[in-house]
Amino acid sequence: MITGDAAYIKKINRSLIIKEIVKAGMISRADISKVTDLTRATISAQVADLLDEGLIIETQLEHFSVGRKPIMLSLNSKAGYALGIDLDYGQISFTLSDLLGHPATSTIIKINTKDYAEILLILVEQIKKFKAEYTESLYGIVGIVIAIHGLVGKDEVVHFVPRLGWEDIHLKTDLENEIDIDVYLENNANLSSFAERVFFHHETDNLLCATLYSGIGMGMMMKDDFFRGHDGYAGEIGHMIVVPEGRPCNCGNKGCWEKYSSESSVFEYLSEKRQMKNLTYEDIQKWLDEGDQEVHELLEQLLYYLSIGLNNMINIYNPDVLVLDSELLRMYPDALDKIKQNLHSSICHYRELSISSIGKKSCVLGACALAIKHFLSVPMLNLPFEQQDNETVS
C-alpha cells in the first residue's frame, strides 16, 4: 500500500492520469476513472490543473451516435520539446521531438576531435540554437538526455569512453552551468532498450536490447526500469570472453565477444583486407548482392559467435523479449532464422527474438523518450512510433 502526505498522494495520482492519457492517445474522464480506480472527483480536480498548465487539451467527439458527445482528453504534444543527443565517436546526432516522441527535426554534426573542451563547445552552441528556435512553445525544451558510448555511473559522471579516451568527465554539470535546462546522461545501449520498450514492446516487463555497431552493448529493462548493477556499469556484455586467449581487446582482455560479433569487427577486417578506408554499408550490400564468398563467410562467422553470446544472455536473464540492433543483420538474408537455429539448448527460454525496427536512431529516440518521461514524471511511456525524414548533416 502506498502511504504518504496529501501532496505525495496527489503527485502519484497525477502521474497515473498522465500515463493513461498518453497511453490511450485520447480518453474520457470516465474511462480514466475505470482504468485507474480513482474517484471522479479526484480526476476532475487533477484534469483541471493539467488543463490550466496547458499539458492536456480537450476535444469533443463530433461523431458519437448515442447520448451526450463525450469530451476527450489528450496530451498537448506541442506544449514542449525533448532533445535527445547521441554523442558518438566521429559525430553527434541531435533529435528534437514533441511530447509524444514525434521527431520535429534532426541534425548530425561530424566531428574530427576527441578533445572534451571542443566537443563541449559544439554541444553548448547547438543546444542554444535549438533553445532559441523553440522559445514560442509553452515549456520550450523540457529536458536533454545524452547517450554516452561508455561507462556512466549512477551519479551521471562519465567514467570512461574508450573511443574518445575520456575518464571521469562531469559533462552534466558543465552543460547545466551553460544552459538553463535539465540534462541527463545515460548509456547508449540502455537508451536503445528504452526506445524498444516505449515505441514497440508496450506490454513487456523484461526486455534486453543488444546493440552491435561500434562494439556490443546491452540495455536491460527490468520491470519498467533500467538494470544498472552496483555502480551503474551493467550491460558491458561485449567484453564477455567467448574465445579464450583470442583476439586482443582494448579493454585488456583477449577473446571478447565484440571482437567477433560487432559490426566494427566486420568493417575493420574488410577495410584492412581490401584496402578501403571509408567502407560503407552500401559496399557490403553490393558484395552480398554479387555473391562475394568472403563477405558471406565473414557474416556467417559473425552469426555463429553472436549466437554463442546470445545463448549466454538468454540463460542468465531469461528475457521476455530480446532485440538485436544491427544494420548488417537487417541486410543479411535469413539472419534471424539462422541465429534462432543456433539457439537450440533445451534450457534457452525467451518469448521473442527480433531485429530492431528502429535501427540506428533507437538510441537518440530513446533519449527523447527518457527526457519526456522525466518531464511528465510518469513511471513508463507507451508512444506511437513515427519515422522521420527531415535530417540535416553538417
Check residue 234 and give left, alpha or beta (phi > 0: left; psi -120 to 50: alpha).
beta
Per-residue pLDDT at 68? 67
The CATH number assigned to the domain with range 6-75 reads 1.10.10.10
CATH architecture assigned to 204-356: 2-Layer Sandwich (3.30)
Q: What is the pTM of this model?
A: 0.92
Q: Report the b/e string of 271-295 with b at 16+ CB within 10 A.
A: eeeeeeeebeeebbeebbeeeeeeb
Task: Name the segment(s) of the chain with CATH classification 1.10.10.10.
Answer: 6-75
Give the pLDDT of the chain (394 residues) as one tens digit per residue: 455 688 899 999 999 999 999 999 999 999 999 999 999 999 999 999 999 999 999 987 766 566 667 789 999 999 999 999 999 989 999 999 999 999 999 999 999 999 999 999 999 999 999 999 998 899 999 999 999 998 999 999 999 998 899 999 999 999 999 999 999 999 999 999 999 999 999 989 899 999 999 889 999 999 889 998 888 888 889 999 999 999 999 888 999 999 999 999 999 999 999 999 889 999 999 999 999 999 999 999 999 999 999 999 998 888 999 999 999 999 999 999 999 998 877 777 788 999 999 988 999 999 999 999 999 999 999 998 877 666 677 6
Per-residue pLDDT at 188? 94
User: Under 8 Å CB-to-CB from 173, ≥6 apart: which residues?
Assistant: none
* 225-226 β-sheet, strand order: 225-226, 217-222, 206-211, 321-325, 352-355
Q: What is the dihedral of CA 244, 245, 249, 255, to 10 degrees?
A: -30
- Superfamily covering domain 79-193+361-393: ATPase, nucleotide binding domain (3.30.420.40)
DSSP state of 70: P
CA of residue 203 relative to chain centroid, distance: 17
Please give the single-letter amino acid code of residue 31: D
> 235: closest CA among 254, 255, 216?
216
Do 79 and 138 meet the contact criterion of CB atoms below 8 Å apart? yes
Task: Name the segment(s) of the chain with CATH classification 3.30.420.40.
Answer: 79-193+361-393, 204-356
Question: Rounded CA gap, 212 and 309, in Å?
Answer: 12
